Copies of this chain bind each other. A is one copy, B any other.
Amino acid sequence: MKSNNPEWVGFSDFEEENGLFPADMIYSIHAYRKNELIFRQGDVCEALYVLIKGSVKTEMITENGNLLGIEIINAPRPLAPAFLFSDNNRFPVDVTTLEAVEVLRIPKEEVIRLMTSQADFMKQFLTHNANRTQFLTNRLQLLSIKTIKGKIAHFLLEQSNEQGQKFSINRNQTELAEFFGVARPSLARSLSEMVQEGIISINKKEYTILNNKGLRELLL
């Protein structure tokens, strides 16, 4: 119930122990069922939406109809807050509920009022948006790597920075392939080659880096 993300309080906590939002804040709360498409790519976004309960999936649809999975968002977290202030303020992605969710809605004018009156709110808003931008930049970097092994290496090295040489990945191959934007059998082929070459080993969802140097060379 208590979130490990101090940036945003959850709904259950919202009314009683909300330290972030002032008591007089103007807002509304909206509930959705599982598997509802709650925002579409292109929808105008004229308020700040915060996911306060449940989880959603954001999907970017390329114009060719292919899905390029972006990420799963768990409460509590704001939804695409950066776009509230852009000149063309539209949602960049589709947002679909994965379970029953609740969304907090704060009108734009109210957000502006909060920003100017509450320094903490402003800083958190800025930091969050900055982190989002960095996420996108990282995603861009991953996509700009052209070989599948290069993408895998980039991804695994990133994981090993945060964890050790051995770690588990909570995505199956199909999801990983979607994440990388490649075909599933192609990913499987590259993975098995890397195993054969002794660079990594895989056991279910447990990945071990055996040859760190070899992995880096795949980025060349």
Contact = CB atoms under 8 A, between A and B. Distances in A.
A100 interface: no
Which residue, of A82, A144, A220, has the highest number of chain B Cβ atoms within 10 A?
Answer: A144
Interface string A136-168: 110111011111001000100000000000000
B116 A122 contact: yes
B139 A140 contact: yes
A30 to B, nearest CB: 23
A129 interface: yes
Contact of A62 (B62, B123, B136, B141): B141
30 contacts: A60-B137, A62-B141, A62-B145, A63-B219, A64-B145, A64-B219, A64-B220, A65-B219, A82-B129, A82-B130, A82-B133, A83-B130, A84-B130, A85-B127, A85-B130, A86-B133, A87-B127, A89-B130, A93-B137, A112-B123, A115-B126, A116-B116, A116-B119, A116-B122, A122-B122, A129-B129, A132-B133, A136-B140, A139-B140, A144-B181
A89 to B, nearest CB: 8
Given A66-B144, A146-B66, A146-B181, A133 B83 contact: yes
Q: How many copies does the complex hold?
A: 2
The 4 closest A-B pairs by CB, nearest first: A86-B130, A82-B133, A85-B126, A85-B130
